[in-house]
Amino acid sequence: MSSDAWTAERKYEEPRAHAVRERYLGLFSGPELPVPVEAIAGDLLGLRIEEFRDIDCSGMLLPKVRRIVLNAHERATGRDDPPLRRFRFTVAHEIGHWVCHCLSGRAPKLEPSYCRAVDLTDAADRTLEREANVFAAELLMPEPAVRPSSWVSSGVTKRHERPCRRAR
């Protein structure tokens, strides 16, 4: 396999997310799914989670005070209802900023990290946000747990690959 193919294949893998989850499970045990993101933030990383109504984003990381702030208005408007569970993703995303940017020293200043409408424009550098999104996805949905090898051996994958029959 060429290095380009390997890079494209692994573009959305984030080993630091797997390491954080494994470290938590090694210290505190418990079921692998659902991933206990709130406990990972608080018990493992020492990040306090709070909710406020007067913020203009889904969430933010305040690294100087080790705090994740969530938009309480989103819970009130149903954005945290199943199947969205926006808060869990937001917590995982902010953990991604903490692990990938603050702990690694890539955040030159421990400034707040948040995603607002202005941060979504074409002129904005979205690299750190994308990295935090990939981290969050890998933390919340670890492929080994979400897609167990028994699915492949039981034929589930093959059954879904068959072409659909036309209605008669």
Which pLDDT tens digit goes with each residue over 95-133? 999 999 898 877 667 777 766 656 556 665 678 888 999
Q: Which of 166, 18, 37 is nearest to 91 (CA)?
A: 37
CB 12 within 8 A of CB 6: no
Whole-prediction pTM value? 0.76
Question: What pLDDT digit, counting tens, does each position of 62-102 carry?
Answer: 999 999 999 988 877 777 676 567 889 999 999 999 999 89
Count Cα atoms within 13 angstroms, Cβ side, for 77.
8
| In the chain, % of residues over pLDDT 70 | 69
Look at residue 134 in the predicted model and tell me its pLDDT: 93
Specify burial of residue 67 (Cβ count, 10 A radius: 0-12, 13-18, 19+): middle
